Amino acid sequence: MRWAGAVVGAVLAALAGAAVPAEPSADELVARLGADDYRTREAAQRALWARGRAAVPALERAVRGPDPEAARRAREVLDRFGWGIYPDTPPAVLDLIRTFRHGHADPSRNDDIRRAALHDLVKLGRPGLDAVGAILSRDIPPEARGPLVANVTALVRREVPLLLFAGKTAEADALMALHAAGTSPAGAADFTAYRVLCGDLPAATAAARARFDAGRKPDSARLLLVHLYRAGGQWAKARDVAAPLPTAEDEASLKEILLEDEGDWAALADLAPGREFNHPEAVRLSLLRLAGRAAKFEEAAKKLRSDADELTEQQDVFDAAVALFANHRADAATELLLEKRQHLAVLSEVLIARMRYKDALELIGARDKDKVPNEQRVEFDLRRPAC
């Protein structure tokens, strides 16, 4: 018995002194993804999957590496991570992710199914929000991304106030943070306003800059950063980041919006807009006036008024009058409309506002009744009692 006890004691002492084998690093596991032995490759892939988010940097390096087998296996794991699917993902979240991915057998119902899945994911707290963020971060075709982002923006706008009223600030922060994963101009504006109200705009701007510098979803990160710089009055930085962003047809570019916010009218006056305006002459005169180019403004205003004498088309006359009204030339605009006897509804409003009641009543005399279109006579008659 003494001998057996001594042997057991020696064995235990030896085991206690033995070094525990170190776990292989993520890079070592990645190297095994291209091993000759199939079981070694499979075991490495499972081990990398089990490590979850910690394995992402090594997996991304493998995707860019020279070994095609290692790149393929790494891409498979990253694709699951890219949908927000990790070893610790709750089954309910996993089911909703699958629902979102696969949609419905009837394509016409896909939008409704995915909208409902997003709503249910948000209700599942942090794991669900992580999944929504992962979905927003994916490379989704623009035609599908637009409705997706619009749905998330509407969801955030509805849920965040309710959370704040309930005192659940942390949950509201997490929900609003979805805009950092992928957003629209409306969502970027919402996120920025929220951060301003929370008093942490500088920290939010620094975090957005870090995401942008990391190169993740560059357009979305760029858009968010533009709005944060804009709210902080960092105009030059905002314009620099905004420059590559595309502009929708017939909409103001972010550069134009930023210059207007800053009040840099001179730069805006020199900028050739990439779209047409409803009242181009009004815009041109306004920019000259706001830029402080008094001589050029006076010259352009006088020329506009004199050229208007030759106009015959109603729309051209109206455009000229709008340009004059918009630039503190109400007398000239009023006299123009009086001379042309056009747009009597607008003209009567102006005359009444300027207390020229007699002139307003005389807009349509007996000799003019047959010359004035019926719709203008009706519109004027509706205003006549104000005289």
Residue 214 falls inside a structural domain: no
Q: Which of 14-23, 67-76, 157-166 is least confident?
A: 14-23
Domain boundary among 35, 53, 82: 82
The amino acid at residue 319 is D
Instruction: With beta carbons less than 8 A apart as the criterion, state whether 286 and 327 touch.
Output: yes
Residue 239 falls inside a structural domain: no
Domain boundary among 44, 64, 82: 82
pLDDT tens by residue, 332-366? 999 998 888 878 888 888 888 888 888 877 776 54
Residue 142 falls inside a structural domain: no
pLDDT tens by residue, 37-49? 999 999 999 999 9
Q: Are residues 301 and 349 in the same domain?
A: no
Residue 322 falls inside a structural domain: yes
Q: Are residues 369 and 329 in the same domain?
A: no
Residue 283: the pLDDT is: 92
Q: Give how many domains the chain has, as a whole number.
A: 3
Q: Are residues 275 and 331 in the same domain?
A: yes
At residue 328, the 3 state secondary structure works out as: coil
Residue 120 falls inside a structural domain: no
Q: Are residues 307 and 369 in the same domain?
A: no
Provide CB contacts within 8 A for 293, sequence distance 6+: 266, 269
Q: Which domain holds residue 66?
A: 26-82
DSSP structure string for 226-283: HHHHHHTT-HHHHHHHHTTS---TTS--HHHHHHHHHT-HHHHHHS--SS--SSHHHH
Instruction: With beta carbons less than 8 A apart as the criterion, state whether 132 and 116 touch.
Output: no
pLDDT tens by residue, 166-175? 999 999 999 9
Domain boundary among 37, 64, 82: 82
Q: Are residues 281 and 324 in the same domain?
A: yes
Residue 189 falls inside a structural domain: no
Phi/psi of residue 309, each to 5°?
A: -60, -30
Q: Are residues 292 and 330 in the same domain?
A: yes
Locate tokens 């009023």: which residue? 334
| Cα–Cα dist 374/157, whole Å | 47
